[in-house]
Amino acid sequence: MSDDATAPFLIDAGGDAGTDPRVFADGAAHLEAAGYDGIFAAETKHDPFVSLTAAAMRTERVTLMTGIAVAFARNPMTVAETANDLQLVSGGRFVLGLGSQVKAHIERRFSMPWSAPAARMREFVSAVRAIWAAWATGERLAFEGEHYRHSLMTPFFSPGPNPYGAPPIWLAAVGERMTETAGAVADGVLAHTFTTERYLREVTLPALARGAASAGRDAAALGLAVPAFVAVGETQAELDRAIAATRQQIAFYGSTPDYLPVLALHGWEAAHERLYAGSRRGEWAEMAAAVDDEMLAAFAAVGSPAEVAQQLRDRFAGLATRLSFSASYPIRPELSAALLQQLSGRR
């Protein structure tokens, strides 16, 4: 769809990262045939690099992105090697999407150190780029930072220049400091599903611009990927189920203190307090009632495929460079196809 002038952004799809990588690859082939521009794999039950390697063997056109791989569960050298190989295997179609995860997962699930995530991520990305540059030029590897030091690279271990060049690096960010980091060192920012058009315009984009300016870069050249909540249905019963599930997912995210700034921008701090208290009591089913129609409309595009497509265009055309659909309920293939067709303008 990137060749279609009526499409206001590239449209991506998430392969099911919870499935066997072989199943993921089958799904990727179907998504490419359906007309999506890109496919991303998250790090949940399976390694996203493995899933995307399998997908690269089954696709020819789509961009393949980790969305995201957990940076702090790894080190810059292992990430540089894996990303370089995926860029080769995919023929230059790979995008390295990185995220920090949260302290509990880094320390208790991955048994890795946690510290100053924004500053550490900036250094992590810089180290990866330094490794790629050493391979491309043959110059001595000499990266010295506070968290990472890479000073040994002999010809035996260097893969040499990648014929497709280094893959782009995008960073997941919600808070201003991590978004500034993306502006300073990354090629794009991966917004969280729990965001609104207003938050993107008033918080994300200014932070991205500040980060870019601090490094003498042009913020206009950086990408923004938005995974947008959609509650879509063709019958009232189908739409009602989609809305109920979407309210529940918004409530879940809204109960998390890390996402309070998004609600605070809209003046919904009291809603966060109710949701947080409900989560502490385990009242997950009841929490959706705290998400009123105004909040639902701010976070999600709601309606028929045509209505949802128009809402997404109105909100994100000229703002996002890549868009994907986020749904916490099963969407019929026919609905997904209709939504994609409405957004792309293809018949």
Evaluate whether 323 touches 11 at the Cβ level (below 8 Å): yes
Q: Determine the pLDDT at residue 345.
A: 75
Determine how many CB atoms are found less than 10 A away from the CB of residue 332: 12
Q: What is the pLDDT of residue 346?
A: 58
Q: State the Cα–Cα distance between residues 133 and 155, nearest whole angstrom.
A: 14
Whether pLDDT at 3 is above 80 = no
Which tens digit of pLDDT belongs to each residue from 43-63?
999 999 999 999 999 999 999
pLDDT band per the 50, 70, 90 thresholds, residue 6: low
Could you tell me the two tokens for 221?
């050249």
Average pLDDT of the residues in 177-184: 98
Percent of the chain predicted with pLDDT > 70: 97
Q: How confident is the model at residue 18 (pLDDT cuts 50, 70, 90)?
A: confident
Distance CA 317, CA 177 (A): 25
Query: What secondary structure does DSSP assign to 53-100, as a single string?
Result: HHHHHH-SSSEEEES-EEGGGS-HHHHHHHHHHHHHHTTS-EEEEEE-
Report the alpha-carbon distance of residue 132 to residue 158 in Å, rounded.
9
More confident residue, 3 or 120: 120
Q: Tens digits of per-residue pLDDT, 316-341?
A: 999 999 999 999 899 999 999 999 99
Place of tokens 């050249």: 221
pLDDT in tens, 227-268: 999 999 999 999 999 999 999 999 999 999 989 999 999 999
> Is residue 281 scored above 60 in pLDDT?
yes
Residue 1 confidence class, pLDDT cut points 50, 70, 90: very low
Percent of the chain, pLDDT > 90?
Answer: 93
Q: Indicate the pairing of strand 149-150 with strand 143-144.
A: antiparallel
> Would you place residue 14 in the very low, low, confident or very high pLDDT band (cuts 50, 70, 90)?
confident
The pLDDT tens digits for 114-166 are: 999 999 999 999 999 999 999 999 999 999 999 999 999 999 999 999 999 99
Can you give the pTM of this predicted structure? 0.94
* pLDDT at position 5 over 50: no
